[in-house]
């Protein structure tokens, strides 16, 4: 029994040495927002970042990172995202107390502050299409 335990501990130690450790960190609470044309960059209190790219009034791309750069279209890390040019999307960004509201002519995206989660609604901001039940966790490697 003691030998089996030692082999298990040794195997775990060797795997950590070669593969490093991986853990998930909660994205945290919304702290800062930078608005740009067709893009919003959200910073959290855990130094995580969330990027919302508006591609069309009814299409957006959402990326999250632990402070590293975001993968662009055509990047190997985002190989399913093809480079395309999109026209500017008209949007409004308003503070609603417990959440920020991003609206276009086709959708309403609620970005809840504590913890940072999102919910997607039709343009009426009443018909729910999607809602995160818990915050995103981002894997980190050491």
141 pLDDT higher than 50: yes
Q: What is the model's pTM?
A: 0.74
| pLDDT tier, 20 (very low <50, low <70, confident <90, very high otherwise) | very low
**pLDDT tens-digit series, residues 61-102:** 888 887 666 666 555 655 556 667 889 999 999 999 999 999
Q: From start to end of 1-142, where are the E strands?
A: 22-26, 30-36, 39-44, 49-56, 59-65, 92-95, 99-103, 107-112, 117-122, 128-131, 137-141
| pLDDT tier, 24 (very low <50, low <70, confident <90, very high otherwise) | low
């Amino acid at each position: 029994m003691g030998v089996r335990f030692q082999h298990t501990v040794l195997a775990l130690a060797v795997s950590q040495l070669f593969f490093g450790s991986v853990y998930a960190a909660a994205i945290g609470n919304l702290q800062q927002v930078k608005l740009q044309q067709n893009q919003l960059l959200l910073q959290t209190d855990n130094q995580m970042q969330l990027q919302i790219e508006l591609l069309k009034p009814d299409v957006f791309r959402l990326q999250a990172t632990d402070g590293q750069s975001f993968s662009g279209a055509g990047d190997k890390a985002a190989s399913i995202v093809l480079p395309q040019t999109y026209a500017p999307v008209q949007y409004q960004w308003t503070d609603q107390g417990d959440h920020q509201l991003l609206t276009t002519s086709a959708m309403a995206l609620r970005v809840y502050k504590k913890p940072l989660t999102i919910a997607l609604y039709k343009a009426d901001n009443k018909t729910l299409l999607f809602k995160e039940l818990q915050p995103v966790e981002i894997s980190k490697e050491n």
